[in-house]
Structure 1
């Protein structure tokens, strides 16, 4: 009895064809560049998880799309040296420049804003003027020489009292926590280049978290770029207004960011919870938490901050990560709330929402500062050897 021949079906054929198609798609940079350039950062990550080819393609695209040196080269001839300056001073790039970098876009006629810690403003200005060829452009209230405004001497051992909010200053600069704004300019290949150095009263983060709305709460440190509200900003294209004590609302900001593709939200409706909002309201936040988009940057060649003195700790990363805040209802809108940690025991100032641990740090700072000041007053300690405490103590309070 003859057997009926069995027909063998190649079940792998459709799969192999699919893999070949994927390989063709994600194996050629011109093709996947055109696709990836049109999608959001979150979608880019999700596609990269599909298969090995997609992962390799997304990594290659991201490496080129988020090239920090290429981004900075529009304003700076030596991006690597500038990033070393950032590492040394804790200077942050914020505002629309950071938004453009993370959004992979370009706003014509935009400038670059640098937010600088107290005690580092002169160093940053000198670098940009002497190394990068910028010139100081004073406003009507400023002298011609920025050295008359910013001293090269800063005494971090002085007691740091809480500074009452200056309504006139807030109205002028439109950002809480800003001490002064200094503008420098130079001619570039494509026209005039402008950098604004924002001298902060307490810290760059304190100023950034009080921006007009959430879509510009992004910043670039020497080692990473951060977005505090990435889903709302890059996925939903929404920006939430942050309340500030000003008599008039600046409609030019609303119009400008509307033209850039963002829908302006004045406040959150009643009943909004952290679970149903991309703004994560009523939640204690910290920089780098699970709601933050942190984009690590290549730090090869960046000169890290040297130890201030033998009694002080070494900063391994930018101190911005030791800050916390929350988005709460303030007056008739939403606002960022936090408590400021200000003490001469720490080199920098910080923010936190943990009031209990903040009080413990305050007690520690009083005792440590009192001891150091006694040694200083009795000539048993000089200011150059002032023992800055380990700033990572602050991280425990967040």
Structure 2
């Protein structure tokens, strides 16, 4: 990859003379200009082009390739850092809607009200792109005081409330009525109207720009995680921008469908297909089987190691908004939200348990006093509150601060990967990468299902815990007489293994799990140095009667 980048640099040097005469570098999407002092420093760096020329190259690299390029040298690191500072500025996506002074005031209101930016606007921020037909979507809790602060600001900067035909002419009356749990027909198909109270549109007459305030019934992240697919699961708070599924979205250019497909969401899939995202029901094997995968089968939380996080510069002006001042929270409250990604055997991707609902107390802005079931993970609500903190679940949910909740969640859900689980994952991933090509009669490539591969990792993790040291394990793939791919696993027992190891291995899997493995064409056996030991599969031989060896 680095060789390709340097090759591109060499090609761009041909047009350096022409570019050097330009005062600015115009791009079709987002403009990135290097400060004059940066150009002077880059011109002194032998072997690298000036920053304006490098920006043309960096703009068209993926985020991961830009990071790899930054590791090439100190000068390359400086070039990438300069590019990122200029490219990922919140002003780029807010300037079509607000003036420079209005942006500062909006962000302070965003801080006070906990408003999040999401939808197409947040996607454009990460992708450095511009969708001319998109609106600015602002997500806020169903709290009239907060909604009125945000709406009042929009009205003060020449936006006018535009109710739908069925909405009340007064914003307050429309807010009090809400959607009354009746599906809102005008909602963009990427919204989940079940968790939305209502949507209020504001339009500026001078330029036709449209801003929507989306009020959420219980929790903003609950709405975000109810979107149709992963490419739009990005949020921007006052302090940070978070992409929840960055690898799939910006490297694979794939959007994974999270909820069951409904007819009214097909338009959303078509819209994002036109914008460059392929729709899939499950992630790619490379993405799902990576270390710290964003689709890993353990709990995740906003801001964890699988997220792409961009810190935003705070508002510089000394403005006062109520009693909040201009002080950023020590921990972004949105990071208190957690969820679970599930890969189903039916070949779908779903969100597991819901998210944490935080509601600031008027007397203590950092106090968490309300949760929605099943928003807090059961283990955190019960085991952690009782065993680790010495508190009852009721006291935990009533008196823990937002900062404390965030730290507990991230300590539990974003810990270093378990060594045994990582060893099992690595074995399966390397086997999938090196497996031979199997084709069916139509010439389509065959491979084990992602669900069976994830299930194999889980079972190997359970089995390997019986060993003092990581055992040798080989994984091969064969096709049976019906044209189905089987995963064959042979685990070599250590020399002079104790007799009780055989009993422990035999008891580590029950009949239900065994049948489930066989149903998904996973076969595990053991080798003691001279011959294979049939510890489990005598209970399920009938399931593999149609197996035929060979490649």
TM beyond 0.5: yes
2:295 counterpart SS class: coil
**What is the CA-CA distance between 1:140 and the residue it aligns to?**
1.7
Q: What is the distance in 1 between the residues matched to 2:163 and 2:250? A: 35
TM-aligned CA distance change 1:81 to 1:228, over 3 Å: same
Distance of aligned partners of 1:144 and 1:361 in 2 relative to their CA distance in 1, 3 Å threshold: farther
Say whether residues 1:328 and 2:342 are aligned partners: yes
| Alignment-derived partner of residue 139 in structure 1 | 164
Which of structures 1 and 2 has the larger relative contact order (alpha carbons within 8 angstroms, sep 6+)? Answer: 1
1:108-163 deviation per Cα after TM superposition (whole angstroms, max 9, x unaligned): 11101001023222221111112x21111111210112122236xxxxxxxxxxxx
Once the two structures are TM-superposed, the CA of residue 42 in structure 1 deviates from its matched residue by 1.7
**Contact in 1 for aligned 2:287/2:293 (Cα 8 Å):** no
- Note if contact 1:280-1:327 (Cα within 8 Å) is conserved in structure 2: yes
Contact 2:338 2:355 in 1 (8 A): no
User: Equivalent of 1:264, from 279, 300, 306?
Assistant: 279
Counterparts of 1:239 and 1:328 in 2: how far apart (Å)? 16
The corresponding residue for 1:124 is: 150
CA contact (8 A) 1:346 1:389 kept: yes
Match of 2:195 among 149, 172, 177: 177
Q: Equivalent residue for 2:380?
A: 357
| Residue of structure 2 equivalent to 1:9 | none
Matched, 1:392 2:410: no
Cα distance in 1 between the residues matched to 2:68 and 2:61:
11
In structure 1, how many angstroms separate the alpha carbons of the residues matched to 2:109 and 2:265?
34
Question: How many Å separate the matches in 2 of 1:348 and 1:75?
Answer: 34
Closer, same or farther: CA 147–63 of 1 in aligned 2, 3 Å = same
Deviations 1:223-272 (A, max 9, x none): 1111011111111101100115x753521111111110001002358999
CA shift in 2, pair 1:272/1:301, >3 Å: closer
**1:194: how far off?**
0.6
Matches within 5 A, 1:78-89: 78-89=102-113
Asked whether the 8 Å contact 1:213–1:239 carries over to 2, the reply is yes
Alignment CA distance shift 1:355-1:134 (3 Å): same
Q: 1:31 to 1:368 in 2, by over 3 A?
A: closer
Show the counterpart of 1:4: none
Question: What is the CA-CA distance between 1:37 and the residue it aligns to?
Answer: 1.0
Counterpart check, 1:201 vs 2:241: no
Contact 1:22 1:53 in 2 (8 A): no
CA distance, structure 1, for counterparts of residue 44 and residue 375 of structure 2: 47
SS at match of 1:198: strand
Given the superposition, is the C-alpha separation of residues 184 and 349 from structure 1 closer, same or farther in structure 2, using an over 3 Å criterion?
farther
Aligned partner of residue 209 in structure 2, secondary structure: strand
1:326 is displaced (CA, Å) by 1.2
Q: Normalized against structure 2, the TM-score is what?
A: 0.55
Local SS of the residue matching 1:53: helix
Q: Does 1:224 find its partner at 2:224?
A: no
Q: Report the number of matched residues.
A: 341
Shift of 1:182: 0.7
Q: Tell me the secondary structure at the aligned position of residue 298 of structure 1.
A: coil
* Structure-to-structure mapping, 1:1-398, within 5 angstroms: 23=45, 26-77=48-99, 78-119=102-143, 120-130=146-156, 132-150=157-175, 166=181, 168-169=182-183, 173=187, 174-175=191-192, 176-188=194-206, 191-244=207-260, 248-268=263-283, 273-275=288-290, 279-301=294-316, 315-329=329-343, 333-342=348-357, 346=368, 354-359=377-382, 366-367=394-395, 390-395=401-406, 396-397=408-409
Distance change (3 Å), C-alpha of 1:297 and 1:347: farther
Report the secondary structure of 2:96's partner residue. Answer: coil
Asked if structure 1 preserves the Cα contact closer than 8 Å seen for 2:115 and 2:140, the reply is yes
- How much is the aligned-residue C-alpha RMSD, in angstroms? 3.5
- TM superposition shift of 1:30: 2.0
C-alpha deviation, 1:394, in angstroms? 2.2
**Which deviates further from its counterpart, 335-344 or 265-274?**
265-274
* Structure 2: stretches of 5+ with no match in the other structure: 1-41, 360-366, 411-551
List per-residue Cα deviations over 1:17-38 (Å, max 9, x = no partner).
Answer: xxx9993564512211110111
- Does the aligned pair in 2 maintain the 1:137–1:184 contact within 8 Å? yes
Of residues 358-367 and 228-237 in structure 1, the stretch that sits farther from structure 2 once superposed is: 358-367
Measured at CA, do residues 69 and 364 of structure 1 come closer, stay the same or move farther in structure 2, by a change above 3 Å?
Answer: farther
Q: Which segments of 5 or more consecutive residues in structure 1 lack a partner in the other structure?
A: 1-19, 152-164, 309-313, 371-387
The answer on whether the counterparts of 2:142 and 2:197 sit within 8 Å (CA) in structure 1 is no
CA contact (8 A) 1:25 1:32 kept: no
